[in-house]
Amino acid sequence: MMLGTQGYAIREARFLTVRREFLLAPKGRNSSSAALPAIKSVPLVRLHRRRRRSGQEIGERSPARVVVVSCAAPATAAPAASGKGAGKSTVTATISVQTEVESLLANIGIGRGLDDISDLLGKSIQVELVSSELNPENGKEKESIKAWAHKGKKGDGVQKYEAKLEVEGGFGEVGAVLITNVHHSEMYFKEIELRGLAEGDVHISCNSWVHAQKDSPQKRVFFTDKMSKQSFLPSTTPEGLKKLRAQELETLRGNGEGERKTHERIYDYDVYNDLGNPDSSDSLKRPVLGGKDHPYPRRCRTGRRKSKKDPQSETRVGALQTPYVPRDEAFSGVKGVTFSAKTLKSVLHTFVPNLLSVLKDDTIGFPFFTAIDTLFQEGLRMKKPGSSTSLLNAVVPRLVKLMEGQELLQFEMPEMIERDKFSWFRDEEFARQILAGLNPLSVQLLTEFPIVSKLDPKVYGPPESAITKELVEQQMRGVMTVEEKAIEQKKLFIVDYHDILLPYVNKVRELSGTTLYGSRALFFHNKLGTLEPVAIELTRPPSSTKPQWKQVFSPGVDATNVWLWRLAKAHFLAHDSGYHQLVSHWLRTHCCTEPYIIAANRQLSAMHPIYRLLHPHFRYTMEINALARQDLINADGVIEKCFSPMKYSIEISSAAYDKLWRFDYQALPADLIQRGMAVEDPTVEHGVRLVIDDYPFANDGLLIWSATKEWVADYVNHFYEDSQSVVSDAELQAWWSEVRNKGHADKKDEPWWPALDSRESLVQVLTTIIWVVSGHHAAVNFGQYPYAGYFPNRPTIARTNIPTEDDSAMHFDLFLKKPESALLGCFPSQTQATLVMAILDVLSTHSIDEEYLGQQAEPVWQSDPAIMAVFEKFNGKLKQIERIIDERNTNRELRNRSGAGILPYELLKPFSQPGVTGKGIPTSISI
């Protein structure tokens, strides 16, 4: 920004005004002059300003005489030592401000120059100490103690500010600090330390943006970190803090009106009405998710104006912007440049457009399997250095490499394919991944035969499956009958997407470049403890022109049926990939968690022990969700471009929420029981007995679940003495009520919502939420590139119908002549495959500053030895789980996680090094 002669005149006038204010300021005992800096006249070297002249950057320095205020207090005004003199003590408040952050307005314009002046004058940050006691004379809050903070030392990306405050002996314990930021831009506060208090030193972990006073006159509140059984529940909050506690929550709730501004910290609810873009094109209009027609969890309200063409829809932000999230939910500028979510944003906004410009025809598939291999061996030539893509070489060196003066998109071969190049082709691996792959949450025990759809037969045709008793027994090689043995002995398992997909089949088939079926796959649990595929059924519902069609495919013994089976697997895997991404991943973790976060910030004070327990598990989730709404699940976004249901993808996740989602089933043991994969048994470890002993996701997941539940129980029992203390906690009950009635409003009347009426019910609810954002999310996210980076193993879309469905003899003859081409034609196009591979690489990457479950105690816990003791126990258990998982992966009896060429199951190992590792459980959903 240019700063001309007029700007410098304003700046000079500002100095003279400040000098006059200082010289005329009263010198009484109660004035701020006790810490008045010394004034002297010195040469001024003007702050470096840049102006453009004829396209050149010019730095200007000129001497001048101006009043400058020394930050050192005069010797005659030296403060009294702590605790001495007239019952007063001098308290030093040291504020640590992180400087190496991407503030929205920092370092630009005249504001920066005025901020520098304010810092020199010691008038940029005002600190106020708030007593935890009321004034005994009038029963009101005591007057706060105020002082200006002076700029101090700087180092390691942190600028220190220091204030001296005179505290009367009867002030009481400091319960909070109020901050006024007079700078012209926001500041990121790391921590505040208070030294010299009668009750001892106080540490406050801030890790928060403090808005500029010009944006809002409201002061920022930071409660002390000091943890106590008696000081943080609403009923035992110190009297001097109760009003401030309530006011802060009112601020965070807002009034539900107007468009949210970037600096705000307001949490409120809205429906998903911002995925479409009808003002741009009628084809980009999408239904509102949330409400009677399309039940859905709620997202964070932004208040943007409504669409001109569709008043039910909200307008979208610009391509390079991110929708509003409360300021402290944003990771931008705080996490390191290698933070995976930032990398994802760079890939979506810079890399993807360049990729699409290189692969201009998005319908061309891979002509040979060897052409797929070139993505890993030779790479894809991109634009030359100097284009915007070249910036990504430093951020995503795994993806973009520089070679012979050109950029090269070259993928790293996933470890699964490195171990066994043809593993994706084998039926044993196909079945193994049902239990130990990327989506182990869909398999369930088959309890009834024959299989019957629950859909309306008048609309979707006969409900009976075409999978017959004879076919199943033939595939089981006659070792047992279906009803008498296989069902009774719990030997048959199913992954069933028939009813969730069939209502969308005809609509999807109206789109170009894709197709869809209702599908289900059946598996037999053999004596070795592994699954064998029995059959895949594909169904097309009746339409106005065609009757219902369904066909069952089984592993064949002749060439034609072998290739038909491979094509059926490709279709089923495309459906499984879509369900994994839309339901197991997005809906059950990202989407359903956002209401917990919004409600927690609206109803639980920052000093509440349950807020302090949950807060680390909620970091960065809201912004990654906002990024997903902007570029991944939106109209014509990555999901719609590359997954079979295309424009109906996110609508299908709404149908799954409506029919399948229950909060109580998100707890791992309950999930396993309701799918028939486990039975309750209080005599065994974890309280459940698995139906399949070697079920890696469940085996390892139960270890994480139990360790987490024990930690949560210890924490809850420390703060709540009995069930009544849980019931009477007004903030806690308001939080849980709001989760149900506002955050998940479309399911508020369901009878399965647990009541928070005991310590045990609270522990169960909290453990469920923490499991979802940690273990569950890790299991479905960080294996994406290891399992789907070689896309034939998990194609995201099937583009052609099964040859036997069509009446065209020519279509079937082409399949007979060249079945490999038929399979390649069914797979994603080159553009779709390459785009998904790039996104999955980033989604599967741990950043160097990843925060793992149970690895690092929160600063706020460190003031309570009892909490630290149980946290250390939790940390020790997680380290022990690491060793148990390593031992399991070397046990050759466990064939679903060990064997020749098999990728060990490590997705639920708690810790990891940076990169694509296929292991590690982050504390929160941050990617």
- Tell me which residues are annotated as active site: 585, 590, 777, 781, 927
Check: CB of residue 165 under 8 Å from CB of residue 127: yes
Q: How far apart are CA 596 and CA 591, in angstroms?
A: 10
Q: How far apart are CA 194 and CA 173, in angstroms?
A: 12
Question: What would the two tokens of residue 789 be?
Answer: 């980076």
Report DSSP letters for 718-786, one per residue: HH--SHHHHHT-HHHHHHHHHIIIIITGGGTT-TTPPP--SHHHHHHHHHHHHHIIIIIHHHHHTTHHH
By CB neighbour count within 10 A (0-12 exposed, 13-18 middle, 19+ buried), where does 752 fall?
exposed
Q: How far apart are CA 732 and CA 712, in angstroms?
A: 15
Check: CB of residue 852 under 8 Å from CB of residue 843: no
Q: How far apart are CA 550 and CA 543, in angstroms?
A: 13
Count CB neighbours of 750 within 10 A: 13
Smallest Cα–Cα separation from 708: which of 905, 870, 926?
A: 870
Q: How far apart are CA 668 and CA 695, in angstroms?
A: 13
Coarse DSSP helix, strand, coil percentages of the chain, rounded to the nearest 5 percent:
40, 15, 40
By CB neighbour count within 10 A (0-12 exposed, 13-18 middle, 19+ buried), where does 292 fall?
exposed
Q: Are strands 444-445 and 518-525 parallel, antiparallel or unpaired?
A: unpaired
Amino acid in the structure at residue 273: N
Q: For residue 552, what are the β-bridge partners?
A: 537
Smallest Cα–Cα separation from 267: which of 634, 542, 603, 33?
A: 603
Helix runs in 632-729, H state only? 638-642, 649-660, 668-674, 696-719, 723-727
Check: CB of residue 130 under 8 Å from CB of residue 98: no
Strands (E), 83-219: 88-98, 125-131, 145-155, 158-168, 174-181, 187-195, 202-210
Smallest Cα–Cα separation from 266: which of 211, 321, 316, 312?
A: 211
Smallest Cα–Cα separation from 652: which of 744, 579, 740?
A: 579
Check: CB of residue 400 under 8 Å from CB of residue 407: yes
Contacts of 79 (CB under 8 A, 6+ apart): 34, 35, 73, 90, 164, 166
Q: How far apart are CA 602 and CA 738, in angstroms?
A: 9
Q: Is 829 left (phi over 0), alpha (psi -120 to 50) or beta?
A: beta
Contacts of 560 (CB under 8 A, 6+ apart): 816
Q: Which contiguous run of DSSP H or E holds residue 842?
A: helix 830-843
Length of the chain: 927
Give SS3 for 545.
Answer: coil
Q: How far apart are CA 452 and CA 793, in angstroms?
A: 29
Phi, psi of 57 (to 5 degrees): -85, 125
Question: What would the two tokens of residue 440 be?
Answer: 């182990």
Sheet holding 88-98, edge to edge: 202-210, 187-195, 88-98, 158-168, 145-155, 125-131, 174-181, 220-223
Q: Between vectors from CA 412 to CA 410 and to CA 414, what angle results, nearest 5°? A: 145
